[in-house]
Structure 1
Amino acid sequence: MPIVEAHVLEGYAPEAKRRLVAALTDAVRFVVPAPDEAITVMLHEHAAANYARGGVTRSPAPALPDPAELVLAYLRAMEARDLATAQGMLGDGFAMVFPGTGPMTTLAELVAWAKDRYRFVTKTYEAVEAFPAGGAAVVYTRGTLAGEWPDGTAFSGIRFIDRFEVTGGLITRQDVWNDLGEVRPR
């Protein structure tokens, strides 16, 4: 029965602590074949006034946003064509690759590329999965696409998978796979 103890400075919101406990439980389950109820995680909070590093009293760093929620907010903004909001969620060096494209680095490039492919697209999500990977968070979304072709004909039920990298609370990469090209009218 694995027991994990973590020490944190006071000041984190209950939701941030809940996310930390869930992430630590997932980390244990990734290595040890234990059911959730067999994994104990204990957070020990310490007053910031009783903590110093390098002889300097420190405050806790703010918790990063939930990467899955960040990605879903970005996708909602993109679907609503609120490009200014979506842009604010992107980090330095952002790049995205869609089927049949090389890397694009601006949302304007994506909009220009997509205008001849479809009028609009909406997504229905079957799953959103997030996990840490080498200093970044990786978020996968998968489900189906619906929308309209340029001629106004509706489409639906088209599979997609999006993979995002989130670093420092901002999206730095998006890779997209879907079957639009397979069913697109010629």
Structure 2
Amino acid sequence: MDQNSDPVGAAKVIVESYLERSMVPDPEGAATYISDDFKLVFTGGRTFSGPAESADFNAKRYAWVKKNFLRTDAALDDETGDVHVYNTGYLFGAWKDGTTFETNRYMDKFVVRGGKIISTDVWNDSAEIILHRAGLAEAEL
């Protein structure tokens, strides 16, 4: 898929390829899809400069985690040429204590410029689930 003839389609492929490499986890492989000034913001406002940092963070929270993609949508910003890509679905895996999960919702927003991901914002239910498991949730899940 050509970045110039179909920037939206190309951006979706870039994002899904990045996510696939991130799930291995293969931070070095995932890094080939990001720009030098990449910025990653996780739920809660945690910022990371690359896939290796987010993989290290995930290793503290999960025994393992993967994504079940439901949709990848994208839109071209005609003024900047950036493509905004949204990938949503469910996280599945196991918490550090070995308890499995499969319905942890997530939504990731990416900005792709010139064939590279320049930023990502990540939202998921993990913090709410952890609060619930600790008996600290304000309402039932």
Q: Which range, TM-score by smaller chain?
A: 0.7 to 0.9
**Higher normalized contact order (CA 8 Å, seq sep 6+, divided by chain length):** 2
TM-score normalized by the length of structure 2: 0.82
TM-score normalized by the length of structure 1: 0.64
Give the aligned partner of residue 37 of structure 2: 93
Q: Find 2:116's aligned residue among 170, 175, 180.
A: 170
1:119 lines up with 2:63 in the alignment: yes
Cα separation, 1, equivalents of 2:56 and 2:69: 25
Q: Find 2:93's aligned residue among 141, 147, 150.
A: 147
Please give the root-mean-square deviation of Cα atoms over the aligned residues, in Å: 2.1
Q: Identity rate of aligned residues, in percent? A: 32
Q: Given that residues 34 and 118 in structure 2 are in contact (C-alpha distance below 8 angstroms), is that contact kept between their aligned partners in structure 1?
A: yes
Cα separation, 2, equivalents of 1:161 and 1:111: 17
1:138 lines up with 2:91 in the alignment: no
Cα separation, 1, equivalents of 2:30 and 2:54: 12
Give the aligned partner of residue 129 of structure 1: 73
Cα separation, 2, equivalents of 1:182 and 1:73: 28
Alpha-carbon offset, residue 113 of structure 1? 1.8
Alpha-carbon offset, residue 119 of structure 1? 1.5
Alpha-carbon offset, residue 106 of structure 1? 2.4
Q: Find 2:54's aligned residue among 106, 110, 116.
A: 110
1:118 alignment partner AA: Y
Alpha-carbon offset, residue 109 of structure 1? 1.8
SS at match of 1:116: helix
Gapped runs of 5+ residues in structure 1? 1-14, 24-64
Q: Given that residues 27 and 55 in structure 2 are in contact (C-alpha distance below 8 angstroms), is that contact kept between their aligned partners in structure 1?
A: no
Q: Larger radius of gyration, structure 1 or 2?
A: 1
